[in-house]
Chain A
Amino acid sequence: MSKREAFNFVNKLISQENGRALKLNDTLIKSELDSLGYLLVLLGIEKKYCILIDVPKGEELSHIDIEVVTMKQLINRCVLSKCPT
């Protein structure tokens, strides 16, 4: 799974929720999504990349701080994460 593929995938999810596409060093908050939009993007990423697999129950939403996490950090998580087969 390439970083480029993950980058395009995340930006596609963001644009589907009417957010602004991000550059590598942008933080997630720059996408200008509403709270439901962030959740839907997170769920879309989780479905493909299982980035929340080791996150304790109840902490899923707070696990990714949209004001701090950059697109680069997010796609690194995507690429490093492994869905159970």
Chain B
Amino acid sequence: MRTVQMSNLIVDAFGNALEYRPCTLEDIPKHFSCVKRIIEPEIRAEYRNRMKQAVKASTAYCIEGTNIFLYYLKDDEYISEGVSLSGKGKPVELLALLTAITCIEDTDTVFVRFFLHHKSNVEDFRSLLEANSLKGQIGYPKRITIRADKLRKKFNKLGLFNG
């Protein structure tokens, strides 16, 4: 049976409406294929399993018709573990998705912790990270932190969301 999911609208930074929605189990193969090359072969099964958990926990969202998504799992009300993030080279759409998640769907999470995989580059996430995530830890997997509360404040200050 195919999962039915409701779409929602978010207005991007330049005033265009974009559809975002919770990810479904049917999205996982397509989304996984976008990140597969950076995931070490020995942990791919576990990675997909965590994507499934995020879908079941309703903590996975994507922009409709794109490969822009974020899967995460909540440790508690305020702390989450990032599972999968894709949006490189599409900053307007990624910003819209992050605004929708932090300002509408999950206004409680403060920290999102990620492990960077061997073939991913911390520089690709530079603007999302705390400065101390950009220093130290030469080896991989490198642990990085995104402060969702600071993103929320920044998005509000820029007028991206005035809920």
A residues contacting B by CB (< 8 A) are 16-19, 32-40, 43-44, 47, 57-58, 60-61
Contact = CB atoms under 8 A, between A and B. Distances in A.
A17 to B, nearest CB: 4
A39 B126 contact: no
Nearest to A31: B126
Interface string B119-130: 000011111110
Interface string B89-118: 111101100000000000000000000000
Contact of B129 (A18, A32, A35): A18
A47 B92 contact: no
A59 B13 CA distance: 12
B112 to A, nearest CB: 15
Contacts of B37: none
Contact of B92 (A16, A39, A44): A39
A19 B14 contact: no
B127 A40 contact: yes
A36 B97 CA distance: 12
Interface of B: 13-16, 87-92, 94-95, 123-129, 131, 134, 154, 158-160
Contact of A39 (B13, B124, B125): B13
Contacts of B126: 17-19, 32-34, 37
A35 B91 contact: yes
Contacts of B91: 35-36, 38-39, 61
Contacts of B13: 39, 43
19 contacts: A18-B131, A32-B123, A34-B123, A34-B126, A34-B128, A35-B90, A36-B87, A36-B127, A36-B128, A38-B91, A39-B92, A39-B95, A40-B154, A43-B13, A43-B160, A47-B158, A47-B159, A58-B14, A61-B92
A44 B127 contact: no
A57 B20 CA distance: 21
Contact of A34 (B14, B16, B125, B158): B125
